[in-house]
Structure 1
Amino acid sequence: MTTTAVGQVDGKTPEDRAQAHLGLTLLALCAAGLVVSLQQTVVIPLLPRMIVQLHTDVAGVTWLFTAALLSGAVATPLLSRFGDMYGKKPMVMVAMGLLVTGSVICALAGSLPVYIVGRALQGISSALIPLAIGIIRDTFPRERLVSAIGIVSGTMGIGGTVGLLVTGLIADHTQSPHPVFWLTAGLGVLATVLIQVSAKNNGVRHGGKPDFIGAGLLAGLLVCLLLAISEGPRWGWGSGSTLALFAAAAAFAAVWVFAELKIEQPLVRLQLLVGPQSLSANLASFLLGFSMFGAFTLVSNFIQTPADKVGYGLSGTVLSVGLYGIPSAALMTFFSFNTGRISAKIGPAYTLSIGSAFAGLSMGWLAVSHGSGTDMIIANVLQGTGFGIGYAALGTLAVQHVAMSESGIASGINSLVRTAGGSIAGAVTGSILTAHVISGGHVPTESAYVASFATLAVGAFGAAAVALWHGLRHNGN
């Protein structure tokens, strides 16, 4: 070893090594984020095939997607709270460990209930994104925060689209869904190793007790609400079972709010959920999550619908779903690395509004024109632009107005409402498709898809309007 100058070792200064380590940390967090978002979508192109393999229907198989979102919605604020209490890096390792465990269970599963259990364990890893943002705030210098948060947040959309492509490539060679889950397990192990060797467990510990009562009440609320929405068309919206579930969801919500106001250290501090700046950021997150996760499932099913048999659709394969998504993945990657500069100039709120508007145009295009592959490519270009910009800006908007000590839980709450929006989107679109089917079969009508695309477009445009209003009130921030 040679010293080339004062403070230098092998030609590298301490500053150089610090910068290199920050780069490795960011790479590790992005890799983990990609795996997490990938596991959320790898199952989507397989749903039509698994309906037959598991002897279920659209509503039943949709729970393979919804279960992961539901568990993520409950686990995200809980693990974020644990991150503030015990350190964010250990909670990241827990989340990745559960992702690997759930992946192995799905890789060995042979029935719908076992798949749902595995998917629920995988979904807990959704807490990684807010934990990663917390690590960035604890570790990175202020001048690099916006761009680093934007890059990690942007991996959600990138990994989701890459997941569709990877699944398509695998499904083109085998009818079994198991190899897809072995792949996510392997990638999860690699990402976990990267996190272990690169990320530091910085940040102040705040102590306290976990709010398991709040977590249980939140889980009850979401399960009752989603079950009522997804099963309403089959049971009847006016049936006793459906109404009882809606009533139970309302009761859980009331008790949950009361409990969170009374407990000393709540799971969700309501000020961070509905405070002056938090409310609009969380509402925009909910609506954008509703549009994004709903679009993944809907577009995949539509592409695989056989036009020669039902009169609409693109007669595609599982691989076709991924290939159509390539423009979206490329644009999400580009904008996740460049949106930080846009946000620094005009503010994250206005940036989010622009991204959400593009996402709305994507679903609006498919609602109006969906008869060819060209329509799908145009929609994916708009979608990649919208979600790439929107999600990168959303990560910054969620935490910039809170104290460093609350960054983990604030980001966790924002992720919770985004994931809850995605869960509800799956139930809503599944409900629409189930309620309007071609006579004599179980295939949804074309008008059901049009209504679903339009519903998702309204959600994205709603996010754009909320973000614009937020920006006007708070000077773009």
Structure 2
Amino acid sequence: MTSTVPDAPATDRQPEARRERSVWVVLIALALAGSVVSIQQTLVIPLLPTISATYGVAITDVTWLFTASLLAGAVATPLLSRFGDMYGKKPMMLLTLVLLCAGSVICALSTDLGWLIVGRAVQGVSAAMIPLAIGTIRDTFPPRRVIGAIGIVSATLGVGGAVGMLLTGLISGHTDDHHPVFWIAAAAAVLAFVLVAAVVPNGGVRHGGRPDVAGALLLAVVLVSLLLAISQGNAWGWTSPGVLGLFAAALVLGALWVVLELKVAEPLVRMSILIGRKSLSANVASVFLGFSMYGSFTLIAALIQADPDKVGYGLGGTVLTVGIVSLPNTVAMVGASFLCGRLANRIGAAYTLALGSALAGVSYLYLALWHSTVPDFLVFNFIQGLGFGIAYACIGTLAVQHVPMDQSGIASGINVLVRTAGGSVSAAVGAAILTGGGLVPTIGDYVLCLYIVLVGSVGAAIVAVVHGLRHRD
């Protein structure tokens, strides 16, 4: 007796297989676009000593090439994330990639440090790409794929950062000019734009509304005041009227910003998402993570390039050495991001975040104790990549899993905002310590900075454990 019953399941499986392939295509597009955006954040780090010599300026001034990008991203991320919830996330993702290309072109054509900083600030706006991508995943992906997909996209923050330093190193091996790096960044932004435009859906709920421009501008002034005070503390004097005035301005204007956000009908940052019952711990952990990760970028690059014959420490490496030594970081981070989804499903996103943060802390402790050979830096980079690959993959999930679907973009945006703000402060603190003791920092200055960023990792781990204990659901 012939039966045709098996044909139906086979037919049913065909649309399911197509949907599965579609999910992976979209995920690859989002991850690649996120990596392109992340590359720009670390692209200049190995070049800071070279740019300092080229323009004849102090290293604290050149550090603003990194800080300006983080600062612009911190301000633009919640604004564009909110726009994504209002008008659609895909148009905002495309806008961030256009600005990334424009900023890269400005940097490539720049002839002085001022225009280079302007271009870096325009590039930094593209940081909003990551939370917009996370919001898109939550809006359009099947529930069983959400945690793993968010983990992969979140991990591109670290993967792209490591690739950026490697790319810079490869280019610098052929030329001392820093401009070609930015032409490559512009081309990568164009490719990412085409990819996102072609395959990423524009789904999700859109609720419309009005942007909180005043809140964005006031937040920018607060962050600039704080970072300028920290970065210029050594030069102006920590008790000088200028530094004390900037700290006071940051404090007063910060309080004013909170009042504004509480009163405006459609705030840039909803306080319920920033300091809500489940949001607060995710955002505090994110501040610690940003402080820990971004603060280490300039430290490690400078330490690897330090000439041991002149200063008594370092590897005497080139810009390319920085990129090559960072390869274990990239490999470990990619592997950890793919495994994080399964681990989070077993023990929860909070405890997985705590594990990753603790591993990152172990890496800093290791490097603080052993930092004289290439294997020391290879081991450090592998452990750090493993830790941040796990941590960053989970923090994105922790930030959005409890909020309504129509607020997923802004929730992720706020989480990236506080993380970037923490990174900006860390970069400024590190620059202040390294330039505080004289023209050339000592190895003790670097070790102190490593212990400081270690505190950030430990803080993130503690907050994550407390979150897990308080919210067992």
Where on the TM-score scale, by shorter chain, does this alignment land: which range? over 0.9
CA distance in 2, matches of 1:331, 1:304: 23
1:95 paired to 2:96: yes
Name 1:85's counterpart in structure 2.
86
State the alpha-carbon separation in 2 of the partners of residues 329 and 236 from structure 1. Answer: 39
C-alpha deviation, 1:6, in angstroms: 7.9
* Residue of structure 2 in register with 1:74 after alignment: 75
Distance 1:367 1:18 in 2: 48
Structure 1 ranges of 4+ moved more than 3 A: 5-9
CA distance in 1, matches of 2:170, 2:10: 48
Contact 1:80 1:127 in 2 (8 A): yes
Task: Give 2:146's aligned amino acid.
Answer: L
Structure 1 position 271, deviation (Å): 1.0
Deviation (angstroms), 1:7 = 11
Structure 2 gaps of 5+ residues are 1-6
Per-residue CA distance 1:91-121 (angstroms, 9 max, x = gap): 0000010000001111111111100110001
**Could you tell me which residue of structure 1 aligns to residue 4 of structure 2?**
none
Q: Give the Cα–Cα distance (whole angstroms) in 1 for the partners of residues 148 and 382 of structure 2.
A: 23
**Distance in 1 separating the partners of 2:179 and 2:346:** 46
Pick the aligned partner of 2:468 from 466, 471, 475: 471
1:296 shift after superposition: 1.0
Q: Partners in 2 of 1:387 and 1:145 — Cα distance?
A: 19
Question: After superposition, what is the alpha-carbon deviation per residue over 1:233-277, rounded to whole angstroms, capped at 9, x for unaligned?
Answer: 110000000001001101110110010010011000011111111
2:216: which partner in 1? 215
Does the aligned pair in 2 maintain the 1:363–1:456 contact within 8 Å? yes
Aligned pairs for 1:61-140 within 5 A: 61-140=62-141
How many Å apart are 1:18 and its aligned residue? 2.1
* 2:457 alignment partner AA: A
Q: Answer whether contact 1:7 1:14 (CA < 8 A) is retained.
A: no
- 1:368 aligns with 369
- Residues 357-399 of structure 1, C-alpha deviations (whole Å, 9 max, x = no match): 0111111122222122121112111101111000001111110
Q: Report the equivalent of 1:198.
A: 199
| Correspondence for 2:42 | 41
Say whether the 8 Å CA contact 1:8–1:14 is kept in structure 2.
no
In structure 2, the partner of 1:232 is 233
Distance 2:97 2:44 in 1: 18
Q: Secondary structure at the match of 2:207?
A: coil
RMSD: 1.4
Paired with 1:470 and 1:56, the residues of 2 have a C-alpha distance of 45
Q: Runs of 5+ in structure 1 lacking a partner? A: none
Deviations 1:303-353 (A, max 9, x none): 001010011111110001011101110000101111000001100100000
Q: Which residue of 2 aligns with 1:403?
A: 404
1:15 CA drift (Å): 2.5
Count matched residues. Answer: 467
Task: Give the letter aligned to residue 455 of structure 1.
Answer: I
Displacement of 1:12 in angstroms is 8.5
Paired amino acid for 1:454: Y
SS at match of 2:232: helix
Give the TM-score normalised by the residue count of structure 2: 0.97
Q: What is the identity percentage for the equivalent residue pairs of Structure 1 and Structure 2?
A: 57
2:134 corresponds to which letter in structure 1?
I
Larger CA deviation: 11-20 vs 127-136: 11-20
Q: Deviations over 1:195-246 (max 9, x none)?
A: 0010111111111100001001100000000000000011000000000100
Matched, 1:182 2:183: yes
Partner of 1:433: 434
Distance 1:465 1:407 in 2: 25
Could you tell me how far apart the structure 2 residues matched to 1:277 and 1:434 are? 39
Work out whether residues 353 and 468 of structure 1, in 8 Å CA contact, stay in contact via their aligned partners in 2: yes
- Checking the alignment, whether the CA contact within 8 Å between 1:272 and 1:410 is kept in structure 2 is yes
Q: Which residue of 2 aligns with 1:386?
A: 387
| Cα-to-partner distance string for 1:116-143 (whole Å, 9 max, x where unaligned) | 1100011000001100001101110101
Name the residue aligned to 1:152: 153
Q: Structure 1: which amino acid aligns with 2:455?
A: V
- Provide closer, same or farther for how the CA distance between residues 357 and 188 of structure 1 changes in structure 2, counting only shifts above 3 A: same
Q: Deviations over 1:59-82 (max 9, x none)?
A: 100000000000000000000000
